[in-house]
């Protein structure tokens, strides 16, 4: 059973975070642009909380991300997660709609007959 973000027994205790995409959508499909956006958001969150967060692992599949990190306190953990999840969802949805618009502008294949 998961524990609330506000709970932390000791300073810099390692935790695993799993973030799933809404409706299990495949918003994290591998690609240069998606990877750039994901790493950019995680890097920005790390920069805002420099010295308070130790990131050990970040990886994912098409519809969820796993992060293993250690945080100085529960308040830092909550702030880091809030910042990273909010900005990650904004970036990925922007990427999703940009890709979708580009696909809709491409001519459709027509059946010969």
pTM: 0.74
The Cα–Cα gap between 38 and 94 comes to 12
pLDDT tens-digit series, residues 87-111: 988 887 776 667 666 777 777 666 6
**pLDDT, position 44:** 93
Rg (CA), the chain: 18
| Interacting residues of 70 by C-beta distance below 8 A, sequence separation 6+ | 12, 13, 14, 15, 53, 54, 56
Q: Which domains does the chain have, with CATH numbers?
A: 13-99 (3.30.70.1290)
Q: Burial letters for 81-100: b for 16+ Cβ neighbours within 10 Å, e otherwise?
A: beebeebbeebbeebbeeee
How many alpha carbons fall within 13 Å on the CB side of residue 49?
25
pLDDT tens-digit series, residues 15-24: 888 888 767 6
User: Would you say residue 45 has pLDDT above 90?
Assistant: yes
């Amino acid at each position: 059973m998961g524990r609330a973000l506000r709970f932390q027994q000791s300073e810099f205790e390692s935790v695993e975070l799993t973030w799933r995409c809404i409706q299990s959508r495949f918003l994290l499909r591998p690609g240069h642009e998606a990877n750039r956006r994901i790493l950019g958001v995680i890097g920005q969150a790390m920069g805002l909380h420099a010295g308070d967060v130790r990131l050990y692992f970040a990886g994912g599949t098409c519809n969820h991300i796993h992060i293993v990190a250690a945080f100085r306190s529960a308040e830092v953990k909550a702030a880091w997660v809030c910042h990273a999840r909010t900005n990650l969802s904004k970036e990925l949805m922007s990427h999703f709609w940009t890709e979708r618009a580009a696909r809709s502008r491409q001519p459709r294949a027509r059946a010969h007959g």
